[in-house]
Amino acid sequence: MESSNTPLPASQTVEARIQTILDEQRAQAHDALDDLMYESFLEIGALLSAPDTPARAVAGLSPRTLQLIRQHHDAGDLAEWLAAGAGGTKSICISQFLNLNALQMQELRARFPRAFTKWAAEEDQTLLAQYQDATAQGQKVNWGALAGRFGRNVNAIKLRLEHLGVNLGPDAGHSRRS
């Protein structure tokens, strides 16, 4: 059995570095997609409860499609309507959105158990204290560790800190929701 102190061959070291970089890029891309989908879900969810149909497409869904979705959502038969072919108006966009919505939520909750759940006051206090401890000691914030500790993605952690009044600055590496 080899000792763990044995240096890796140069080719394995380079491969390991490349793999680490690729893993980080995939994680960043996944976080960006999570944020984009989350924003689309919020926007469509808000439209389902709004009194008027929007005049523009939202998340790739036309105003007419959104109107039909809302009618069946309000009637409580959206799943049945879609399963029956949506009266001939079923588009790939509707099925992609609804399937992606369900899959994305399951996938996100598997990766981040607290995704899409309201932040508790205790969580806010703990997050703020841990962030302030790290920065007061001059340490670099370990965003991945915070995300794991709170069961949320890195972007959610950064956005919550901003919501709590922390100015992360332009180099924070996240998208701000308005």
Check whether residue 49 and residue 88 sit in a common domain.
yes
List the beta bridge partners of residue 72.
Answer: none
| Whole-model pTM over 0.75 | no
Check whether residue 104 and residue 129 sit in a common domain.
no
- The Cα 145–Cα 46 span in angstroms is 32
Check whether residue 103 and residue 148 sit in a common domain.
no
Q: Domain span at residue 72?
A: 10-111
Check whether residue 46 and residue 130 sit in a common domain.
no
> How many Cα atoms sit within 13 Å of 66 on the Cβ side?
23
End-to-end CA distance of the chain: 56
- The Cα 46–Cα 69 span in angstroms is 13
Residue-wise pLDDT for 10-50, tens only, equals: 666 777 777 777 767 666 665 655 555 556 656 666 666 66
Percent of the chain with pLDDT over 70: 49
Check whether residue 147 and residue 94 sit in a common domain.
no
Q: What's the structural domain count of the chain?
A: 2
Average pLDDT over residues 158-175: 77
Give the residue with greater pLDDT, 174 vs 80.
80
- Is the residue at 105 inside a domain? yes
- Is the residue at 3 inside a domain? no
